[in-house]
Structure 1
Amino acid sequence: DMISLKPRLHNFGLQHHQWLTHTWNHFQTEFQCCGVIYFTDWLEMTDMEWPPDSCCTNQYPGCARHAHFHDLSDLYQEGCGPKIYSFIRGTKQLHFLRFLGVSMGVAQILAMALTLTLLWALCFGRRSAKLGSQMPPVLLDQHLEDVQQKGVPSVGPGASEEHSSLRGSASSHGHLHYEQSHEDC
């Protein structure tokens, strides 16, 4: 919360906290704000008699001292606390959107790889069936006997409809060749 930011102001301007000083100065200038809730936070939480010059609407050396004693409207009137939290919240949303975008990209790449793999498997399966499978003569004879015992002719016009798309024939070398009615990939 914004209250926890206020105690950190006391390190502003200290030699070993220069990074904090530069951060506050940059943030106040960039977001046109002063202090955490109001510019008086600098007076309450530090030994400073006036806010830093980065709180001035028109910055020049000593502008905050001049504004403090003469015209307070020359200082940013809005505190930086709400702007800091809006900035952080916006940054978290940006990180979420980046994560979401990268995740969707990875998912698309994986889907494409899966699609190509399945397409390759289908094409390879068709080609290997067209080339035929090598079957030793003993297994070929056994296969032909099994087909004839079941009453399903392996070749010819009398083949059943469920076997009509796949017709086999034995060559003189004991190879069983299959023809499919599918186009090449």
Structure 2
Amino acid sequence: MDKSSSEESAICHSPSVEGRDSDLGGTSRPGLPCEGRGFTAAAFYGSTGTQEGPGTSTENKSDTGKRTAAKGSKYLVFYLDLSFVFLLEFNKVNMARGCLCCLKYMMFLFNLIFWLCGCGLLGVGIWLSVSQGSFATFSPSFPSLSAANLVIAIGSIIMVTGFLGCLGAIKENKCLLLSFFIVLLIILLSELILLILFFVFMDTVSENAKKDLKDGLVLYNTENNVGLKNAWNIIQAEWKCCGVTGYTDWHEALRESVVPDRCCTEHYQDCGRNSTNMFWTRGCYEKVEEWLDDNKHLLGTIGMCILVIQLLGMAFAMTLFQQIHRTGKKYSA
């Protein structure tokens, strides 16, 4: 009996067993000195049995077995729950990475398309500026505000913006993504400011535009303004209009009772010098205003699409920027 007691005491007070038992919060009970520790040690060493002393009774063995089985079930449920939570979180991380990779390549594809469109517009603008004099400015106050220069400016802006977004998305570069966001923000604010100013000062803008266009009619027959002459001929032939507000604008500008041949309802050589001919009575400015009013829904839809594209581009850029900044490294693609 003394030997059994000493062996039992050694088992109960083993440092390795007590260390593991303290980690799981096990406690000993009076009369059952090895109950909790015995299961804990067995749980760590792969055994489901209990430590039995030579003097352990059958009733104590049965109670100990029941309590050990209950504890084992609790630990098993705990391990299963922990594994399920781990797998669930792992799946969430994989889904998040998949969504970000999809967002990355979508942003790259759309910006690549915009970059190609910008390159195309830039090429068309350069071609118009070099070889086509028919697309000139109507305003003598803003000689640089021609159709070719406008196309070049718009194409350059689209090309630079698309390049920043395309390269920043595929390379996951925070500097390029932030530059892309800032450029889009500047463009958006500029559009909103110009739109607000236009509606606030609509009447003033309209009167100044009419006056400037009438001043440009004086340059119609001059040698160095062939582009302006061709532009007026094209717009009057296509829109079936004459002058800015009417054909009498040409009488004031040219200081004689003649109009360009394109103002005649029946066009032929020098028909504008025949005062008995019929001319288009409506001015081109009025025709343009009428066209804008008839197509305001279409123009509004196009404007809203451009606005949505800009906002989505800014949102995607900041989402990728925040993800790269949060992880501190590239996510696997």
Normalized per residue, the structure richer in strand is 1
TM score, norm. by length of structure 1: 0.48
TM score, norm. by length of structure 2: 0.29
